[in-house]
Each structure stands twice: as structure tokens, then as C-alpha cells.
Structure 1
């Protein structure tokens, strides 16, 4: 087992191992959701890994005969006083039951212990399976109790806190249906709210508001018993994220809603569009600030950005999104648009005493 060097660019030292670790991630996601639509290339994920100044991440790998067959990710916040660490362990299906997952989990948990990150969170996909279920304490969703990842996490002292649903929208969406939904939203939104759009980095006039919206994603979105801490975005952090994203092959489409009486942004949604037209689009964050909810702005934003996608980047087969099972409002929005479930993952937490 070794820690991998994050390559500063394509083809630089560490690149082959980074590609191999990304392939492990894709294989595990493909097995869990029974689709390749959640796959990302190493070129697409590299910008995320290069933002170490704001989002510290470490990457570990386990090898068999020199080949990377498992990976582990250790994530924290910059503030050393925040007791949270986010852990991910993924092992190729054909190399499981050899102790590789246990060794990688031990390594991550040891790191968290050394850094006094005593609250550890992990997200694990759970395929459908027979037998008894482990219900989420939110009252929404469950995972099969006999699944190997469920037994593994329970043995290590993790508790299921939330179930997340992965959903897929087949494209193209009927333009008449979208227009009808948009018309239905307009009277509820009223004249106090208007839409704006952009592709790529945030225009300078909206940097402050977008930094606030990204911060509020960590406090306003449902996190159940995870009780994850506030993750503050400054303007400088937002610009770093967006500048790094611009070096990758994907395009970010943003729709925002402006509150006319204050001139401030009340919500946003983003789509991440791959270069290849035969690959799915990823639905990234969507948020309406709590103080502006009740005006159907979430529906307004989602539909408007899908229309922007159809105008600027037609031809993609689908959009993939994730939501907490208890986030019934956003699931209602997605289902009305045409999203259907493709799989589920558990959000797990353990607190070391």
C-alpha cells in the first residue's frame, strides 16, 4: 500500500497511477449502479485533486503484482479544529476478500485519529439485495443488511445516517413538457425573481453571492444525522475551483435566480457537461436559500438549465443526479421533470471515543 503523488498535469510523474486509481473508482461505481454513466476520466477529475490549498485530499492505493487494484481517499477541511474526515475505500470486485479494503480503511482511520478527526464519514453504494433491510434513521430509504459493504461498515463501528438516491433523466426531454412546467412555476415565483445564465466561470458581479450559495450548500441541504460542518467558500476559493475546472475538458452550465428587491442571488443550479456527446451530463449542486423557499424556484432553476443545455450542448443521452431520500421536495421536482432512480448509497458515520 502506498500514497500516490497527485500529478500536476496530464503525463507528468504519477499520471499512470492516477489513471489506474480513477479506473478503480469507475469500476466500483459501475458495479454498484449497473451502469457506466457515472464514470469520469482521469482528465476530468484531476482539477478537483489540484485544489489542495482549499480542499485537502490524499490518495492511497493497494497493488497486486504492481497493478493498482484498490484505492482510498482521505478528505478533510483546512481548519484543524474541525473533527470531521471523509473516507472512501474502493476495491476492484475480483480482488475483494483479500484484506485490501481492511488495510486501506485502517490506514485512513489511523490518519484521522492522528489528526484528531474523530468523526468519520463515508458514502458507500449499496446494490439491491434480498433479505432484511437496515433502515435509515431519517425514515426514508434503507440498504440490504446482508450486503458486504454494509456488514463491513457495521463491523467497524459505522452507523447508517442517510440514504442517497441516484437518478437518471433520459434526454432529450420533451420541450412541450418543460415549457408547461415552466409556465406552472411562473405564477408561484412571481415578479420578484428572474433567471440569469452563464457558461464557465462566474461573472465578477456574482462572485460574492455564489460563494455564499456554495457555503450554504453545507448547511441548508439535508444531511440528517451526519451533522457535517459548515464548509466556507470565499471568493478566492470559488475562483480557484472555477479556474482549475476550466483547465479540464468539462463545461459548467449555471442558472441562477435573482431576487429583484435585494439584487442578490436566491438560488442556483449547475450542470457539468462532458466533451463527448455520447456521455451523460452530471447534475451538480442545486440550492435555493432557505429564506427564499416556497416559490418553486428549484423547479424553475432545473428546467431553465435543462433548456440551456438543450440549446448549447444538444445530443447527450442523460443527466445523472443524487439527492437525499428525505429531500422530498427536490425529489418531487426531479420526478416531475422525468428523473427515475438508478441506485442508492448509504451515508455512514462513526465517532471515535
Structure 2
């Protein structure tokens, strides 16, 4: 354990389940996470339960992760996350620091960050990268990434924190929300138009929950390509190698989280292989927002409006499976104009922004 004048930083053990010893501290950490992000966003639409988040911390062999908390008088007031890719060629460590608003400017964020950096820098992955959700006040200098798309305000506290430590903004992601329900006629019209553009060589397949055996290999290919084909600006990114075992781990995480996953994919009929996919994650409480995670069309199948076809088809499936869901949220790089166009066409609007930052040694 390390301390400064006000805060004690300690590593938080990841419990085996929410009924295991240590689960109360993990749940307290999740409450702190939710309070911080709700404050920054001005809404709780990105909140998760402890059960939903726990599985993502438990599977360590693909993307190792360590979790730290800062306490004042025994209370968790901030958290720090250190993660990295298990790939042999990985050169970057990812750091995340969050502090409750009422405990900022007391050295808590600095104590957490210094603790993470001291572990990361000698690890052989000396490039430090960070994702952070930001407010975007109209005051202050506009900080733009080298991509030329999107901006953040120099007056945002998170921007100030990272720039003081030498980080450069590499990418801005837009956080979007879609109020539900969407007009069924609008979705039907867009699906018909996208299907006509795709032509008879493509058909939509879908499933709920774990991956059907016949699609495991193709899903592994799509998830691997997601790590290399999605826009990553100047960030140091390693290829995520997916195989059947990793898909099985991913499916187990889904079951343990209590969430349900809706997957829609485009099958290339001449080859019988999947050309793209879209995922929606539904919480057990259907009054809470749905999260749209990965969407990818393989480069060799682009230009046929498959992205629109997949997103619209999954929104139609969502309306059938969970008509009470109030919203879908999603993240997209600001330079990914094609995907933003697809989102905007069905009604997604900006609700927040995330910066991806890099500190090169």
C-alpha cells in the first residue's frame, strides 16, 4: 500500500462472485465509478451493476487488468485501472484514473496515477495510453486530435490532468444515444433499401445469447479484425487474436454478467461465411439502456450498405425482444464518418465525448 497526505492507494482483489469475500468492496468501487461517470455525463445512462462488470475483470489471460482504489478514512473515493494486451508485441499499457468530484484537488488522482505509472513504466510496455470521458465546455482552447475530427476543451478537468502529465490527444470518440422506440416504418424502409443495395449475395442471420457452433470460427475472425480494422488514430494497438476458446470465454462472461446479447450478422451466401456483425447488450432490468458494442463489416465486403443493414436489423430485433428498453448507447470515433452517418440516419444524437490519449516515453 502507498499513501500520500490524504489518500491510501491499494490493489482491490477481484472476487470470484458477488457472493464471495471482497464482493462488498468491489460493489462499492462500481458505485463510485457510476457516480463519477454520471457526474461527467450529466446522466446515468452509462451506469452498470457490479454483477455486469465483474466478469470483465475476472478473465485475465487475454487482456490482463489490475484494479486499484484510493481510500480516505476507509471510504473509496477514486479508482485506478491498469490493463494491457497479452499479445507478445504489445508496447502500451492503458491507465484510467477517476475520482469523485468532491474529493478532487486533494492529490487523490495524482496518488492513483503515480501508482499505476510506477508499475507500467518498467513493464516492457512503456507507452501509456488512456481513455477518458470528458465534459465539453464551450470555454477554453479547443484541443483537436491529429485526425482532425472532433475536439475537447482545455478547461475540462480530465483534459487538464492528462496534459499536465504530457499526454497528447490522439482521438475523440462520440458517445451517442438513440431514444426508443424508433419508428418501425423508418426501420423497415432503411432495411429494405440496404437489402436492395447489398443484393442477393447477402442474407441476415441472428441469434440471442451465446454464439451458435456454426458461427464460432467466423465470429473469431470478425473479432480479430475488429481490433485491427476499427479506426485507432495514432494509438499503439496490438492485434487481438481470437479463436474458439476465446469466444467460449467471452460467452461465459456474458452468462455470468446477467446480460443478454443480440447478434445480427451478414452471411455472404456464395461462401457461407460471415461478412459483418452488430451486437446489442441488454441488461436484466429492461428499463435500463441497451449498449451497442462492436459493429464491423470486413473491408472486402464494404460499399454494399451492410453496416446499415446490420444495425437496422438488430434494432428491429431489439423491438421484438425488449419493447420496454428506453435507449441504445454507443461509442464511435469521430473520424468514422460512415458509421456516424448510419447512426444519425436512425436517430442517434451526441450525448458525450471520450478522448483517447497517449504518452510516449
- Structure 1 residue aligned with 2:242: 233
Counterparts of 1:112 and 1:61, CA distance in 2:
16
Distance in 1, Cα, partners of 2:128 & 2:257: 30
Corresponding residue of 1:208: 217
Residues 291, 329 of structure 2: 8 Å contact kept: yes
Given the alignment of the two structures, is residue 285 of structure 1 paired with residue 273 of structure 2, yes or no? no
In 1, Cα distance between equivalents of 2:320 and 2:102? 43
Kindly indicate whether residue 308 of structure 2 is the aligned counterpart of residue 329 of structure 1.
no
Q: Give 1:87's aligned residue.
A: 95
d(CA) in 1 for partners of 2:90, 2:325: 40
Distance 2:350 2:155 in 1: 22
Q: Given the alignment of the two structures, is residue 111 of structure 1 paired with residue 123 of structure 2, yes or no?
A: no
Q: Distance in 2 between matches of 1:79 and 1:276?
A: 36
TM superposition shift of 1:98? 0.8
Q: What CA deviation, in whole Å up to 9, does each residue of 1:306-343 have, x standing for no partner?
A: 11111111111100001000000000000001000001
The corresponding residue for 1:313 is 322
How many residues align? The count is: 352
Question: Is contact 2:278-2:310 (8 Å) kept?
Answer: yes
1:122 pairs with 2:122:
no
Residue in structure 2 matched with residue 9 of structure 1 by the alignment: 17
Find the aligned partners of 1:224 and 1:79 in 2 and give their Cα distance. 20
The 8 Å contact of residues 276 and 295 in structure 2, kept in 1 or not, is answered as yes
TM-score when normalising by structure 1: 0.98
Please name the residue that 2:231 is paired with: 222
Q: Would the alpha carbon gap of residues 100 and 80 (structure 1) be closer, same or farther in structure 2, given more than 3 Å must change?
A: farther
Whether 1:46 and 2:78 are equivalent positions in the alignment is no
CA contact (8 A) 2:91 2:236 kept: no
Residue 169 of structure 1 corresponds to 178
Give yes or no for contact 1:62–1:100 (8 Å, CA) kept in 2.
yes
TM-superposed CA distance for 1:244, in Å, is: 2.2
- Cα distance in structure 1, aligned partners of 2:262 and 2:303: 24
- Higher deviation after alignment, 264-273 or 123-132: 123-132
TM-score, length-normalised on structure 2?
Answer: 0.96
Corresponding residue of 2:266: 257
Deviates more, 1:119-128 or 1:214-223: 119-128
Q: Which residue of 1 aligns with 2:160?
A: 151
CA RMSD of aligned residues (A): 1.0
Shift of 1:81: 4.3
Please name the residue that 1:304 is paired with: 313
Q: Deviation of residue 228 (structure 1)?
A: 1.3
Q: Distance in 1 between matches of 2:186 and 2:12?
A: 48
1:113-142 per-position Cα deviation (integer Å, ceiling 9, x unaligned)? 121111111111111211221112111111
1:30-73, Cα deviation, whole Å (9 max, x unpaired): 11211101000001111111111222111000001101110011
- Which residue matches 1:267? 276
Structure 1: 4+ residue segments shifted above 6 A: none
The match for 2:42 is 34
Shift of 1:80: 5.0
Does the 8 Å CA contact 1:159/1:349 hold for their aligned counterparts? yes
| Structure 1: stretches of 5+ with no match in the other structure | none
